[in-house]
Structure 1
Amino acid sequence: MDWYKVARNVLRAELARHGVSYRQLAVLLAGIGVAETERSIANKLSRGSFSFAFYLQCMRALGRADVRLDLSDLN
């Protein structure tokens, strides 16, 4: 299983659910004191190798109060 692909897809799905582009995410992250550029976000998501801390920062920037991951569908 390609865990990097799974991670990438999970974060991309969250961005799509919120209708947020990489550029908008960079602005939202700046609002919580996290310095990222649109390009750095694109690079992280294309690799899928971002830290869990970055994922949590993104969820916070998107206004998520909680995060639930269902891993039962992964093979």
Structure 2
Amino acid sequence: MVNWNDKVKRLLKSELIKRGISNHDLSLMLKEIGVEETKASIDSKISRGSFSASFFLECLSVIGCNKIEIEKYETNLMIAAEPNVEYKKLINGK
């Protein structure tokens, strides 16, 4: 199952990093368009990954991001799978 909060968090963080914009810089840029966010509130929103679509678009707009690429998730990805073999059971410790 896709964790959408994690996906949007990584997407916003990567766009900020590409442009060398810190969360403090972002708070100042948002302030210029009338959006009052502190560095701490931005840190919190991004770390949780739960913020409104409006906040997301405001951020992308002020940093000059006109296009985003959303990576495709593999649904059959196995992180730590058990081997596909049958275990031998011990009988009387043998």
> For the superposition of Structure 1 and Structure 2, which TM-score range results when normalised by the shorter chain?
0.7 to 0.9
Is residue 45 of structure 2 the alignment partner of residue 44 of structure 1? yes
Letter in 1 for 2:9: R
The alpha carbon displacement at 1:3 in A equals: 1.1
Aligned length: 73
Q: Secondary structure, in 3 states, of the residue corresponding to 2:13? A: helix
Higher Cα Rg: structure 1 or 2?
A: 2
> Which is helix-richer, 1 or 2?
1
Q: CA RMSD in A?
A: 1.2
Structure 2: unaligned runs, 5 residues or longer: 75-94
Q: Secondary structure, in 3 states, of the residue corresponding to 2:68? A: coil
Q: Secondary structure, in 3 states, of the residue corresponding to 1:6? A: helix
Residue in structure 2 matched with residue 69 of structure 1 by the alignment: 69
CA distance in 1, matches of 2:68, 2:24: 25
The structure 1 segments of at least 4 consecutive aligned residues displaced by more than 2 Å after TM superposition are 66-71
Structure 1: unaligned runs, 5 residues or longer: none
**What's the TM-score once normalised by structure 2's chain length?**
0.71
CA distance in 1, matches of 2:26, 2:70: 24
Is residue 16 of structure 2 the alignment partner of residue 15 of structure 1? yes
CA distance in 2, matches of 1:28, 1:53: 15
Letter in 2 for 1:74: Y
Identity %: 36
The alpha carbon displacement at 1:63 in A equals: 2.2
CA distance in 1, matches of 2:57, 2:50: 14
**What's the TM-score once normalised by structure 1's chain length?**
0.88
